[in-house]
Structure 1
Amino acid sequence: MEPRRNEPLIDKRSDFSFCKAVYHLGSLSLPVVVSQFLNVVIKLTSFLYVGNIDKYRFAGMGLGYSWIVIIGVSLSMGLSGGLDTLCAQAFGRKQYHLVGIWFQRGLSVMAIAYFTSLLFWFNSETWFVFIGVDPRIAKYASNYIKYYIPAIGLLMFSESYRRYLQAQGHFWPGFIAYLIASMSHIFSGYLFIVYFELYEVGAAIATNMTYSILVIVLFTVVRVKKLDKKCRTGIDFSNYFENIKVFLKYAIPTLINVLIPTVFYEFALYQATLLGHDYQAAHIIIVSADGFFYMLPVGLSITMASVVGRAIGESKPKKALLFVKASFIILLVIMLPISTATIIFGFPWSEIFTKDENVIDITSSISYIVGVYIFLSACSCTIVGILRGLAKQSKVVGVFVVGYYCIGSPLGYVLAFFGDLGLHGVWTGLFIGDFTSLCLLVWILFRTRWESAKDAVEAKV
C-alpha cells in the first residue's frame, strides 16, 4: 500500500523526540551489535587455539581467512545489503508481500554468486605461491579455505535471513542464534583443533558445524514464533527478471562498497606478509582486535540501514534524520573511549595470541595510529549504513575508490617499502585512506535533502 500523497511527513501528534530516537536506536542495535561481536568470537576462538600451537599455521589461517573474507564474507555482506534498502522501504510502505519477494530474489542471487565463486576456492594455493607467499604458509591457508567452503553457503543464507527479519523490526532472533552457535564453537573448536590435532583443518570443520547450528536455531525461532507470518510468501516467479534487475541495482553497489575496503585491507595484509612473518603476525593481531571493536559500528550501520529505510518508506524523513543524529551520539559515547584507551594503553591482550616478544613489541608500537583509525572507521561505517537506507549506495563507490585506491593504498606501499617505515607505513596508508573517505561521506550526508528522500526508492513489483 502506497503512502497517501496528503499524508504529513511526521504526524503532528507524534511525540517522537531525539531522546526517544537514541533509546529506540540503542535498543534495536544492541542485539545486532552483540550478534556481530559473537560472530567475531567464532573467528577469534579458532585463531586463539591455533595461534598458541604454531605461528606458521596461525599466519596461514590469517592469510586463508583474508581470502575467505574477499571471496565469501564480502559476497554475503554486500549482496544481502540490497535487502536493507528494498525490504525496509517495502515494509515501511506496508507492502508486506513485496518484502518476501525481495527476500526470494536475494536468495537466488546469493546462490548463483556462491556456486560461481567455488572456482576461486579450490585454486587458492596456486595463487598464494604465485604472489610470493611462503609455500608452507600457502599450504596451511589453502587447507583452511577448502574445508571452509560449506560455512560460506550457510553464512550467506543466515545473513540474508537476518536482513529480511530486521527489515520487519525483528532484531533479536539473530542474537539468540549467534549466542548458541558461538558458545558451541568454543567446544567444537577445542575438539577438532587441539584434541584431534587437526589445526587449521579442524578450525574450518568446527566453523562448519557452528554455522549449521546458527541456521537451524535461527530458522526454528522464526518459525515457532511465526515472526515472518506477515511477510512470508510462497515461491513467486512473476516479474522475476525485472525484480532481479531492481535488486541488483542496489545490491551490486553495496557489494562493491564492501569489496573495495576489504580488498584494500587485504592488500595491507599482503604488504605485511612481504615484510616478514613477525610483521604479518603483528598485523593479524591488530586487525583481529580492530575487527572486534569494529563490530559495534557494523551492527549500528546495519540497524541504521533498516530504520532509515523504514522511516523513508513511511514518508517520515524527519524521523530518519533523528535516527541519524542519535547514531552519532552513540558513536561518540562508545567508540571515542575505546579509541582513546587504545592510544594510551595499546594492545595488552597481544600475549593472548602469541608469546613471541618481537611480535608483541611490533604490535604495541603502532597503537597510536590504530587508536585514531578505530574511531574514523566507525564513523565511516555508520554513514555508509545511513546512505544504504537512503538508497544512495552507488555514491559511496566513488568515495571509496578515491580514498582507498587513489590515496591510501599507494601511500601505504610507498611509506612501508620506500620510506622504510615498515608496518607503520602500512597503517599510515590505512589511516589516510579512511580519513579521506570519511570526509567525502560526511560531505554527501550533509548535502542530503531529507524532505525529498522519501522518493529515493520505488519499491514495487
Structure 2
Amino acid sequence: MGLWKKAVPEEAKKQLWLAGPMIFVCVFQYSLQLISLMFVGHLDVLLLAGASLATSFVNATGFHVLMGMSSALDTFCGQAYGAKQFDMLGVHTQSAMLALTLATIPMSIIWAYLKPILLVLHQDKTIATQAQLYARYLIPSLSANGLLRCIIKFLQAQNIVFPMVLATGLTSLLHLILCWAFVQKLGLGFKGAAIAICISNWFNTILLVLYIWFSPSCKTTWTGFSRESLHIIPKFLRLAFPSTLMVCLESWTFEIMVLLSGALPDATLQTSVLSICLNTSGIFWMIPSGVSAAGSTRISNELGAGSPKAAYLAVQVTMFLAFIVGLLEFASLMLLWKVWGRAFTNVHEVVKYVTLMMPIVASSTFIDSLQTGFQGVARGCGWQKIGAFINLGSYYLLGLPFSFVSAFVFHMKGQGLFLGLVIALIVQVVCFLFITLRANWEKEANKAEKRVGGRGIQLEDLPR
C-alpha cells in the first residue's frame, strides 16, 4: 500500500508534466483556422460562409484523416521508446511521413474539385464556388500538416514537449501577423487567410525539423534516413487504417450534425445554435486531449519497457485525471450557462436557445473528457481496431439514429441532435471501460514486445 501511495502521485506528476504543454500545443494548432476565419468574417458574409464550409470539408477529408493516420505513431514510437529501441522511433516516423505524404495526393485532387462534391450535397452554388477557391489555396498546407503531425508524435513519445509549445506558439503569433498583412494590408481577401495557414504550417514544421536535426536530445532517435522505413510501411498502414477510422468516425459525426441541423425548421437558428454548441465542445476538448496525449505516451512507454503493472497504473491515473478535468469543465459551463451564448452573439433568440442547450452541452463535455482519456489508453495499447468498431457502433448505429429520431420525429430539434451525441459518448465510455477492465496487461506488454522487438516482461513486474 505504501508503494502504491508513492507510485500514484509520481505517475500523476509525470502525466501532468506532459499534459500541460500538450494542451497548449493543441490550442495553438487549433488557433490557425480560427484566426483565419475571424479575419475572413470581417470581409463579407458570403466569403465567411465559403471559408467556413471549406474548413469543415477539408477537416473531414484531409486534416482529420492525417491526424488519424499519425496517431498510429502513438503506439509504435511510444512503445519503441519504452523498449529502448531508440533508432526505431526515427524509422517509424519516416515510414509514417512517407505514407501520409502519399495520402495527401488524392486529398489534394478532392480539394481542387470541391465544388461538384458540394453541389451533390445540395450546398448553395455561390457558397460552394467560394469554398472550392479557399480549399485550393489550402492545398500546400496538406503535406506540411502531415509531416508536422508525425514530428509531433515523434517528439511526444520521447517526452519532449516544451520545444513544441515554443514552436507552435511562435507559429500562432506569426499567423496572426500574416493574416493581418495578407487580408487587410495587401488586400488578398480570404485567399490571404488560406495562404497564411499554408505558410504557418510550413514554418512550424521547419522549426521542429531544425530542432530534431540540431538538438542532442534526438541524436539517438533520429539517426538519418533509413531504407528500413520503406519495408515497414505495410506494418504502419495496418495500424494506421483503424487509427484513421477511430478518429474520423467520430469527427465526421459532428459534420453530419451540422448538415442535419440545416434540414430542421428555422434552419438558420438551428445551425447557428448547434455551431456554437459544437464549437464550445471543441474548445473544452483541448484540455482532455492533452491528458489523453500524456496518457498514451506514458502507457505506451511502460508497455514497451515490459512493465505491465506500471502501464496499468498509468491507465488508472489517466482516467482519474480525465474524470477530474470533466468535472471541472461541467462545473465551469454550468456556472456560465446563462451568459455563455453572449460570448458568441448578441441575438437574443440565439442566446436564449444556447442557454436551453447548455446543460446538455455541459454533460457532453464531462462524458467527452472520459472518452478522450480512453482514446489515449487505446492508442497507447494499440487498440485502434477495437476503437474503430466501438466508434462505428456508438455513433452510427446508436448516436446518429437517436439524433435523427429525436430531432425530426419527436420534434426536439437541436436538443434532440445533441442528445444523440451524448448517447454515443456514453456508449463509448462504457465499451472502453469494459475493454480496459478485462485487459490482461501482461499480454499487452508481450504484444508490445513483439511489435517493437523490446525486452518483454520482467519477472519483478508481474503481480504477486
- Partner of 2:170 in structure 1? 180
Contact 1:51–1:353 (CA under 8 A) maintained in structure 2: no
* Superposition deviation, residue 449 in structure 1: 1.3
**Preserved contact between residue 8 and residue 313 of structure 2 (Cα < 8 Å):** yes
Q: Distance in 2 between matches of 1:138 and 1:61?
A: 9
- Which residue of structure 2 aligns with residue 205 of structure 1? 195
Residue 350 of structure 1 deviates from its aligned partner by 4.2
Q: Is 207-216 or 76-85 further displaced after alignment?
A: 207-216
The answer (yes or no) to whether the contact 2:288–2:325 under 8 Å persists in 1 is: no
Question: C-alpha separation between the residues in 1 aligned to 2:416 and 2:183?
Answer: 35
Q: What are the within-5 Å matches in structure 2 for residues 285-296 of structure 1?
A: 285-296=276-287
- 2:262 maps to 273
Distance in 1 (CA, whole Å) between partners of 2:271 and 2:192 is: 22
- CA 1:282–1:153: 2 relative to 1, 3 Å: farther
Paired position in structure 2 for 1:159: 149
Change beyond 3 A, Cα 1:128–1:358: farther
**TM-aligned CA distance change 1:153 to 1:16, over 3 Å:** farther
In the other structure, the counterpart of 1:40 is 30
Within 5 Å, give how 1:119-134 maps onto structure 2: 119-134=109-124
1:136 to 126, 129, 140: 126
2-structure distance, mates of 1:419, 1:124: 35
- Please tell me whether the aligned partners of residues 92 and 309 of structure 1 are also in contact (alpha carbons under 8 angstroms): yes
Matched residue of 2:219: which SS? coil
3-state DSSP class of the match of 1:274? coil
Note if contact 2:254-2:278 (Cα within 8 Å) is conserved in structure 1: no
Structure 2 CA distance for aligned equivalents of residues 365 and 397 of structure 1 = 33
- Does structure 2 conserve the Cα–Cα contact (< 8 Å) formed by 1:52 and 1:354? no
Asked whether the equivalents of residues 59 and 277 of structure 1 are also in contact (C-alpha less than 8 Å), the reply is no
1:363 and 2:354 equivalent? yes
Query: 2:331 aligned to 340, 345, 350, which one?
Result: 340
Q: Which residue of structure 2 aligns with residue 69 of structure 1?
A: 59
The answer to whether the 8 A contact 2:75-2:380 is kept is: yes
Displacement of 1:142 in angstroms is 2.1
Which of 55, 73, 79 in structure 2 is aligned with 1:83?
A: 73
Offset at residue 20 of structure 1 (A):
0.7
CA offset digits 1:332-367 (Å, max 9, x no partner): 333312222213422745445444444333333311
Shift of residue 250, structure 1, vs aligned partner: 1.5
Contact map agreement 1:343 1:369 (CA 8 A) in 2? no
- Deviation at residue 230 of structure 1 after TM alignment: 0.4
Conserved in 1, the CA contact under 8 Å of 2:91 and 2:228?
no
Letter in 2 for 1:459: R
Letter in 1 for 2:179: G
1:264 is the counterpart of 2:253: yes
Q: Relative to 1, partners in 2 of residues 1:239 and 1:303: Cα closer, same or farther, differing over 3 Å? A: closer
1:81-129 superposed Cα distances (whole Å, 9 cap, x missing partner)? 1111111111111112222111111111111111122221122221212
Task: Give the letter for the 2:147 counterpart.
Answer: F
**What is the aligned partner in structure 2 of residue 229 from structure 1?**
219
Residues 440, 53 of structure 1: CA spacing in aligned structure 2 closer, same or farther, 3 A cutoff? same
Q: Which amino acid is 2:241 matched to?
A: I
For the structure 1 residues 460 and 318, does the alpha-carbon distance in structure 2 shift closer, same or farther, using more than 3 Å as the test? closer
Kindly indicate whether residue 210 of structure 2 is the aligned counterpart of residue 220 of structure 1: yes
Letter in 2 for 1:217: L
Instruction: Please state if 1:309 is matched with 2:300.
Output: yes
SS at match of 1:133: coil
Match in the other structure for 1:247:
236
The 3-state SS of whatever aligns with 1:227 is helix
Pick from 422, 431, 434: which aligns with 1:431?
422
Residue 459 of structure 1, aligned match among 426, 451, 454: 451
Distance of 1:194 and 1:351 partners within structure 2:
27
Give, as a single letter, the amino acid of the residue that structure 2 aligns with 1:270.
Answer: L
2:373 corresponds to which residue? Answer: 382
Q: Is 1:191 the counterpart of 2:181 in the alignment?
A: yes
Which is further off, 343-352 or 162-171? 343-352
2:462 counterpart residue number: none
Structure 1 position 411 matched with structure 2 position 402 = yes
Q: Take 1:187 and 1:173, find their aligned partners in 2: how far apart are those partners? A: 21
For 1:207 and 1:238, locate their aligned partners in 2 and report how far apart those are by CA, in whole Å: 33
RMSD of aligned residue pairs (Cα, Å): 2.3
Q: Is the 8 A contact 2:94 2:229 kept in 1?
A: no
CA distance in 1, matches of 2:187, 2:338: 29
Q: Which moved more, 1:355-364 or 1:253-262?
A: 355-364
The alpha-carbon deviation at position 161 of structure 1 amounts to: 0.6
Question: Alpha-carbon deviation of 1:454?
Answer: 0.5
Q: Is residue 308 of structure 2 the alignment partner of residue 323 of structure 1?
A: no
Q: Provide the rounded CA distance (Å) in 1 between the counterparts of 2:71 and 2:243.
A: 6
What secondary structure does 1:17 align onto? helix
Q: Provide, for residues 40-79 of structure 1, a one-character-per-residue CA deviation record: whole Å limited to 9, x for no partner.
A: 2222222333335544433333322121111111222111
% of aligned pairs identical? 23
Query: Are 2:173 and 1:168 aligned?
Result: no
TM-score normalised by structure 1 residue count? 0.91
**1:234-277 deviation digits (Å, cap 9, x = unpaired):** 33224833x12221222111111011011111111111233323
Change (3 A) 1:79 1:178: same
Equivalent residue letter for 1:274: A
Is the deviation greater in 213-222 or in 82-91?
A: 213-222
Question: What is the CA distance between 1:295 and its match in structure 2?
Answer: 1.3
Amino acid across the alignment from 2:35:
T
Are the aligned partners of 1:416 and 1:424 in contact in 2 as well (CA < 8 Å)?
Answer: yes
TM-score by length of 2: 0.90
SS of structure 2 residue aligned to 1:438: helix
Aligned-pair CA distance for 1:203: 2.1
CA contact (8 A) 1:89 1:313 kept: yes
**Equivalent residue for 1:440?**
431
Unaligned runs of 5+ in 2: 454-464
